[in-house]
Amino acid sequence: MGGAEGGSADRRSGGLVHRSADPANRRTAEPALRVVGTAQRKVDAVAKVTGQTLFADDLFLPRMLYGKLLRSTQPHARILCIDTSKAAALEGVKAIVTGQDLPIPFGILPVSQDEHALCPERVRYIGDPVAAVAAVSEETATQAVELIEVEYEPLTSITSVQQAVATPEPRIHDYGPHGNLHKLINLEFGDVERALAESDYVREDLLFYEGSTHLPMEQHAAVADWSADGKLTLWSATQTPHYVHRALTKVLELPASRIRVIACPNGGGFGGKSDVFNHEIAVAKLAMETGRPVKITLTRDEVFYCHRGRHPTLMWVRTGVTKDGAIKGMHFRSLLDGGGYGSYGVASAYYTGALQTVTYNVERYKFQGARVFTNKAPCGPKRGHGTPQPRYALEIHLDKIAEDLGKDPAELRLKHLVSPDSITANYLRVGSVGLETCIRKVTEGAGWKEKYGKLPYGRGVGLACSSYISGAGLPIYWNAMPQSGVQLKLDRGGGVTVFCGSTEIGQGSDSILAYIVSEVLGVGVEDVHVVTGDTHLTPVDLGSYSSRVTLMTGNAALQAAERAREILARNVAAKLEVPMARLAFADGRVFDTEGPHNGMSFAAAVQLSEAAEGTVGTVGSYTPPDSPGRYRGAGVGPSPAYSYTAAIAEVAVDAASGIVVVPKIWIAHDVGQCINPVAVMGQVEGSVYMGLGEALMEEMAYRPNRNVIQKMPSMLEYKSPTTLEMCDVVTYLIEDPDPNGPFGAKEVGQGPLLPVAPAIANAVYDAVGVRIDEVPITPEKVLKALKKKEKGEEPRYGPHSFPEIPWPEPIRVPPPWEGGDGRAVPAGGAAGGEGGAETGHPAISPAPTAPSVPSPSSPERQH
Amino acid sequence: MLRLPPFTYLQPKSVRQALRMKTDAGANGMYVAGGTDLYPNMKRRHQEPKVVISLAGIRALGRITGGTRGSELSVGAGVTLTELHTHPRVRNGYSALARAAELVSTPVLRNMGTFGGNICLDTRCNYYNQTYEWRKAIDFCMKKDGEICWVAPSSPRCWAVNSSDTAPVTVALGAEFVLVGPDEERLVPAARFFRDDGINYLTKHPHEVLTEVRLPPLDHWDATYWKLRRRGSFDFPVLGVAVWIKWDGGLVADARIVLGAVASYPKEVPEAAQLIIGSELEDDVIEAAAAAAYKPSKPMDNTDFGLAWRKEMTRNYVRGTLQELRTRRKD
Ligand SMILES: Cc1cc2nc3c(=O)[nH]c(=O)nc-3n(C[C@H](O)[C@H](O)[C@H](O)COP(=O)(O)OP(=O)(O)OC[C@H]3O[C@@H](n4cnc5c(N)ncnc54)[C@H](O)[C@@H]3O)c2cc1C
Ligand code: SF4
């Protein structure tokens, strides 16, 4: 696995780094970089490898108790009574809490405050927590939980999206447009029907993307401590300590200033630890009740019940193109199975329609999205949040269109790429676009021209592209403050400490801070100390989600470091009697570039500055630029920068069994600028791995006729690839710097997952001529499609219908090139229109400045 | 973490001692070897012994002897799967067995798991191999704590699957098992060791210790084992095909075809074996045998993958194993 091959590019990282040939594209012309762009060890690597990292479950406090949650055995039921007397009588049990003790609801999105730490009166999926116990040992807590008796009155359970749409009663929640519809979206950018009518060719497809879960190695765990003076500390395996902080404040009715949330290093998150979880609140309550520290570590089953993974999504798409393949209009529908709670679902639903426009020009675009409630574990954000599903649909759809038009799929895509520095039909402002280089790299590397359509029966290649946000433009709750903050403290000894609220989930976010500060201040990476994810010690960063961390904390760190540099430079310049501009910071020294011997150590520079100005510390922060979209729903999709990816998969399909093997994937990712190319490669390969799992086998399966129970909540039976299934990966790192990224950097943590599944599906078609319009692409499905082909039927496996949905009146926003200004046009008195009505909703974006209005074919370049 | 229920752990040094401990403990006692099946099962409350008697310290169970110059090969039940598949005499003469052992789970599990434990493996079903809470949510099933079979609700029996990789090979090779009880020692042919019942899946008495597996001497026979599973490691079989052929010149003199993981026991399909006896394994003969094996292959919906596909694969796998043996024909 891994490795790189071919090309004449920069090999410093052991991988391939391709800088855009056009120097005009390198818009952040930097002086020579010492750290950024070079292979560096992660700052936490040694501790992780030697087992010294303390994960949440490794924490043991004096007098600590063990907590355990009792979870619902009913998918949908009213709680008639909970009898805790037997459990309370068990020796060693110190406290039992139920929903009555925690009556205040919470939820990650302000619009979906629909969860309780412990269900007060209703359970909504098997695994929904109803009571919590603290006891002297895990065994006692487990035993106690089994002694709690709950009487349920079962309610009809909703097992599928189709049933949810057709069954308004009983409602799983009493909010949402109606019945079991949680969210309906209808956005139209230009008259799509007319565009389709005027197209040379129109194609329609139906696709389904199955749900999957994150499967981090580390199970969620949290430890709470309630001090005698009424202060709460929570250590947790969380990607979002700031949001946990807010939820604890709300539910426990404690002032935020008396709650401290510490994010422990996460043993993998992938989005699965970015929600606020029941056990985090319950463990805090138990600590408050007992006055003793309490720990809850979830079992693997419980991690499956927490879920918040990929939404199973049914999709319908109709696109009109010219003979040349230019997209005149696209109409996209998605229907998401949300499970039992809101979670991030409203945002997820918007994301299934947001990024269709940022890869290829789409002149007019219409998106209708629906999320429904069902009695399953709640879905939420998983790597790629809401975008792998539509990307799967779109890239297969395009592959089919290319075939219908008799065009090479790579050529077709290359012809219609979105231009850099342009605004899309749905008002996303795109900066650098390295997609063309990505496509060229993978097609050359894979030998696309020699292979596509030419390999022997059973072998095939497929191409797919994608794009992803480098951080959501808007925070989850509306506020005007920065999304990320950094404080720097410079020590007299020459050490620098970076404080930042970001959370290390294995992706390397701690390291990014050290590299950037080291780069700016000229000290060694090992001289920079990183303190992160602690609401007492660190300024807020919203969390490790939406691929926002490198760009946002990186910019904040950059600002703080430049400010510190300024302070030191001022004092050193005065002392050395040289102009500030002539000073360089490198190798732990500050010196005159025109006479390098004339200088001092970094430590001496700090001492000098401290003597002159007092303690040396700075702050930096980052707020993303405003988005040009000003319609309701414009809040999801905008990002400071978009990463781009192209991938080619080669597959071997055994026609006798339908088994698909993927020997190799070539993938090129435009990351803007590598901060650490080795870490970037790691993210690319990890994404390929996860994408491969979703493409071929992962499935969050339920037994609808057996109480809607999860079919296989275990590491053994939930099938995810092992190293043996992992393909060889040839990675090309493309650097098309974006002016909004620190040193030009864009995201890499999620984007490279997106093209994997559609590339494999397209390759399967190239290999054996059947379309698998549904992941996972299991042998069973391939064999069924092959049999249909044999019988002369449509050689395809996939969904056949999309239910009727009572869509609301569309919000109509003319695209920029049709005179639009980012606002909705008032339509027949229908709701929608101006600004944002759903306060606190991520899908609103009151933009104070009017956008520029370029056309898709004549991009406005900003340098 | 899922916790083990409390139990007493005993460490006998001999089979005799183990038998005495088991007699004392009665129905509350269970043997354990590598524990890779029993302990996870205890965590899910499938088995709830109060006394666990470890066979791991009994030296005599860890030997591999014979197997040279026309003698049988005797493998102790306590031999680990790693020892089994790396042992030169097993690899060379009994490659089908080595292969089956090597295909079990992961290296870590094979280092702990034993041959005896693999043969005595509890039957599996994805309504059963679940935590207590999970099973409670579907009101349990008849294999443990409940009344009904969720796989076949109208059925009076349990259809849990024999999921051992080595079991079908022992049946195909015609192995014999040595069972030692408090009063007697008996020799049981592999085919009569297993029962077609998901709950009472062995003819072994709970107090008997499986001490040894005797494999027939090498004598112009050949065998192979193919395993179907989702991934190349970790996974239990969803279909296993073990084939044994005795060659007489270029002709098949005798044969056994055994299907694993499609029933509660390793299922011999004599009707398929019958078709190849006397043949040279011509293509049409292989095809006919594959079709004959396909018919009685009746997987249920209680493992990974769909049952129709697993049944379908029986044909492919029987065809594949026979083709492999044909290319290796022994004269
Ligand atoms: C994740 C996972 C994957 C697995 N994958 C596979 C697989 O792919 N294929 C496969 O075949 N198995 C698989 N197994 C099952 C198991 O690991 C193996 O079957 C192993 O060989 C069992 O041996 P053991 O010594 O650990 O058995 P134990 O757990 O010690 O015992 C199993 C049973 O046999 C009884 N027993 C053991 N030895 C004797 C004896 N000498 N006399 C009498 N009774 C005895 C015990 O009482 C117990 O009931 C897997 C297990 C796990 C946890
Ligand atoms: S086959 Fe039926 S009875 Fe047996 S374990 Fe499975 S569900 Fe239970």
Q: Which residues of B252-278 are buried (b: 16+ CB within 10 A; e: fewer)?
A: beebbbbbbbbbbbbbbbeebbebbbe
Chain A residues in contact with B306 (beta carbon < 8 A): 780
CA of A282 relative to ligand 2 center, distance in Å: 36
B33 lines ligand 1 (CB under 6 A): yes
Chain B residues in contact with A714 (beta carbon < 8 A): 129-130
| Integer Rg of chain A from CA | 27
A residues 35-94 closer than 8 Å to B (CB): 71, 73-74
Under 8 Å between Cβ of B242 and B225: yes
Count of helices and strands (H, E) across chain A: 19, 35
CATH topology (fold) of B59-120+161-330: Enolase-like; domain 1 (3.30.390)
Distance in Å from the first CA to the final CA of chain A: 39
Closest residue by Cα to residue A373 from A121, A154, A707, A124: A124
- Local structure of A90: helix, strand or coil: coil
Distant-in-sequence, close-in-space partners of B138: CB < 8 Å, separation ≥ 6: A703, A706, A707, A709, B127, B150
Which chain A residue is nearest to residue B312, measuring alpha carbons? Answer: A657
Residue type, B304: D
Under 8 Å between Cβ of A451 and A458: no
Pairs across A and B, CB distance < 8 A? 73
Size of chain B, expressed as the number of residues it contains = 331
What does each C-alpha distance from B197 to A301, A460, B161, B188, B298 come to in angstroms? 29, 45, 9, 18, 14
**Could you give the CA distance from residue A337 to residue A182 in angstroms, rounded to a whole number?**
10
User: Which pLDDT belongs to residue A856?
Assistant: 43
Nearest CB neighbour to A711, from listed B126, B133, B137: B126
Q: Where residue B330 falls among pLDDT bands split at 50, 70, 90?
A: low
Chain A residues in contact with B230 (beta carbon < 8 A): 697, 719
User: Given CB atoms, is A408 within the 8 Å cutoff of chain B?
Assistant: no
CA of B72 relative to ligand 1 center, distance in Å: 24
Of B109 and A29, the one with more pLDDT: B109
- From A716, A718, A720, mutation site for ligand 1 pocket: most ligand atoms within 8 A of C-beta: A716
Closest residue by Cα to residue A516 from A475, A549, A543: A549
Under 8 Å between Cβ of A86 and A149: yes
Atom 4 (ligand 2) nearest CA:
B158
Under 8 Å between Cβ of A856 and A363: yes
Distant-in-sequence, close-in-space partners of B16: CB < 8 Å, separation ≥ 6: none
User: Given CB atoms, is A126 within the 8 Å cutoff of chain B?
Assistant: yes
What does each C-alpha distance from A345 to A161, A205, A267, A349 come to in angstroms? 14, 24, 24, 6
User: Given CB atoms, is B309 within the 8 Å cutoff of chain A?
Assistant: yes
Cβ within 8 Å, pair A697-B316: no
- Local structure of A532: helix, strand or coil: strand
Comma-separated ranges of CATH 3.30.365.10 domains in chain A: 432-470+641-794, 484-622
**Could you give the CA distance from residue A815 to residue A845 in angstroms, rounded to a whole number?**
17
User: Which pLDDT belongs to residue A15?
Assistant: 41
User: Given CB atoms, is A124 within the 8 Å cutoff of chain B?
Assistant: no
Under 8 Å between Cβ of B190 and B177: yes
Place of tokens 């569309």: A810
- Local structure of A101: helix, strand or coil: helix
User: Which pLDDT belongs to residue A837?
Assistant: 36
What does each C-alpha distance from A30 to A26, A737, A739 come to in angstroms? 9, 11, 12
User: Given CB atoms, is B37 within the 8 Å cutoff of chain A?
Assistant: no
CATH number of A432-470+641-794: 3.30.365.10
Chain-centroid distance, C-alpha B301: 20
What does each C-alpha distance from A182 to A167, A178, A277, A334, A475 come to in angstroms? 13, 8, 20, 13, 21
B202: left (phi over 0), alpha (psi -120 to 50) or beta: beta
Closest residue by Cα to residue A287 from A257, A255, A248: A248
The atom of ligand 1 lying closest to the CA of B80 is 25
Cβ within 8 Å, pair A725-B232: yes
User: Which pLDDT belongs to residue B68?
Assistant: 84
Least distant ligand from the CA of A716:
1
**Could you give the CA distance from residue B315 to residue B4 in angstroms, rounded to a whole number?**
42
Which secondary structure element, helix H or strand E, spans residue A113, and what is its range? Answer: none
**Which CATH architecture describes the domain A56-155+217-268+273-306?**
Alpha-Beta Complex (3.90)
Which chain A residue is nearest to residue B139, measuring alpha carbons? Answer: A73
Which parts of chain A sit beneath pLDDT 50? 1-16, 20-30, 829-863
Chain A residues in contact with B105 (beta carbon < 8 A): none
Under 8 Å between Cβ of B176 and B186: no
Average pLDDT score over residue span B91-117? 97
Least distant ligand from the CA of B260:
1
Place of tokens 């005896």: B116
CA of B130 relative to ligand 1 center, distance in Å: 17
- From B127, B144, B147, mutation site for ligand 2 pocket: most ligand atoms within 8 A of C-beta: B127
The β-bridge relationship of strands B267-268 and B251-260 is: antiparallel
The β-bridge relationship of strands A16-19 and A728-735 is: parallel
User: Which pLDDT belongs to residue A458?
Assistant: 98
Closest residue by Cα to residue B103 from B265, B279, B225, B246: B225
Mean pLDDT of chain B: 97
For residue A777, how many C-alpha atoms fall within 13 Å in the half-sphere facing its CB? 33
The atom of ligand 2 lying closest to the CA of B128 is 5
User: Which pLDDT belongs to residue A32?
Assistant: 84
**Could you give the CA distance from residue A7 to residue A446 in angstroms, rounded to a whole number?**
12
- Local structure of A166: helix, strand or coil: helix
User: Which pLDDT belongs to residue A18?
Assistant: 53
Interaxial angle between packed helices A756-768 and A677-696, expressed in degrees from 0 to 180 and rounded to the nearest 10: 50
User: Which pLDDT belongs to residue B112?
Assistant: 98
- From B124, B154, B159, mutation site for ligand 2 pocket: most ligand atoms within 8 A of C-beta: B159
CA of B123 relative to ligand 1 center, distance in Å: 10
CA of B26 relative to ligand 1 center, distance in Å: 21
Which chain B residue is nearest to residue A712, measuring alpha carbons? Answer: B126
Least distant ligand from the CA of B143:
2
**Could you give the CA distance from residue A754 to residue A358 in angstroms, rounded to a whole number?**
14
Atom 2 (ligand 2) nearest CA:
B149
User: Given CB atoms, is B6 within the 8 Å cutoff of chain A?
Assistant: yes
B residues 62-121 closer than 8 Å to A (CB): none
**Could you give the CA distance from residue A455 to residue A765 in angstroms, rounded to a whole number?**
12
Chain-centroid distance, C-alpha A642: 13
Distant-in-sequence, close-in-space partners of A174: CB < 8 Å, separation ≥ 6: none
Convert chain B into a string of H (helix), E (strand) and C (coil). CCCCCCCEEECCCCHHHHHHHHHHHHHHEEEECCCCCHHHHHHCCCCCCCEEEECCCCHHHHCEEECCCCCCEEEECCCEHHHHHHCHHHHHHCHHHHHHHHCCCCHHHHHHCEHHHHHCCCCECCCCCCCHHHHHHCCCECCEECCCCCCCCCCCCCCCECCCCHHHHHHHHCCEEEEECCCCEEEEEHHHCECCCCCCCECCCCCCEEEEEEECCCCCEEEEEEEECCCCCCCCCCEEEEEEEEEECCEEEEEEEEEECCCCCCEECHHHHHHHCCCCCCHHHHHHHHHHHHCCCCCCCCCCCCHHHHHHHHHHHHHHHHHHHHHCCCC
The atom of ligand 2 lying closest to the CA of B123 is 5
CA of A427 relative to ligand 2 center, distance in Å: 56
CA B105, B107, B113: angle at the middle one, nearest 5? 70
Tokens of B228: 């179907």
| Domain locations along chain B | 1-57, 59-120+161-330
Under 8 Å between Cβ of B114 and B77: yes
User: Which pLDDT belongs to residue B69?
Assistant: 82
CA of B113 relative to ligand 1 center, distance in Å: 6
B residues 204-233 closer than 8 Å to A (CB): 230-233
Distant-in-sequence, close-in-space partners of A244: CB < 8 Å, separation ≥ 6: A234, A236, A238, A261, A276, A280
The atom of ligand 1 lying closest to the CA of B33 is 30
Which chain B residue is nearest to residue A221, measuring alpha carbons? Answer: B1
A residues 127-146 closer than 8 Å to B (CB): 138-139, 142, 146
Which chain A residue is nearest to residue B134, measuring alpha carbons? Answer: A73
Cβ within 8 Å, pair B309-A724: no
Closest residue by Cα to residue B3 from B31, B32, B36, B44: B44
Chain A residues in contact with B313 (beta carbon < 8 A): 657
Cβ within 8 Å, pair A73-B133: yes
What are the helix (H) ranges across A270-344? 278-290, 300-306
Nearest CB neighbour to A717, from listed B136, B304, B313: B304
What residues does A294 pair with on adjacent strands? A65, A224
User: Which pLDDT belongs to residue B209?
Assistant: 98
Residue type, A707: N
The β-bridge relationship of strands A459-469 and A642-653 is: antiparallel
Cβ within 8 Å, pair B137-A783: no
Under 8 Å between Cβ of A211 and A205: no
Neighbour tally for B331: CB within 10 Å: 7
Cβ within 8 Å, pair B312-A697: no
In this structure, what are the phi and psi dihedrals at residue A118, rounded to the nearest 5 degrees?
Answer: -135, 130
Chain B residues in contact with A301 (beta carbon < 8 A): 2, 131, 133-134
Under 8 Å between Cβ of A266 and A44: no
CATH number of A484-622: 3.30.365.10
DSSP 8-state class, residue A186:
E
Residue type, A712: M
Pocket of ligand 2 (CB under 6 A): B 125, 127-128, 141-143, 149-151, 158-160, 198, 302
Q: Out of A12-26, A234-248, B176-190, B213-227, which region has the weakest mean confidence (pLDDT)?
A: A12-26
B37 lines ligand 1 (CB under 6 A): yes
Check if CATH label 3.20.20.150 holds for domain B1-57: no
The atom of ligand 2 lying closest to the CA of B125 is 6
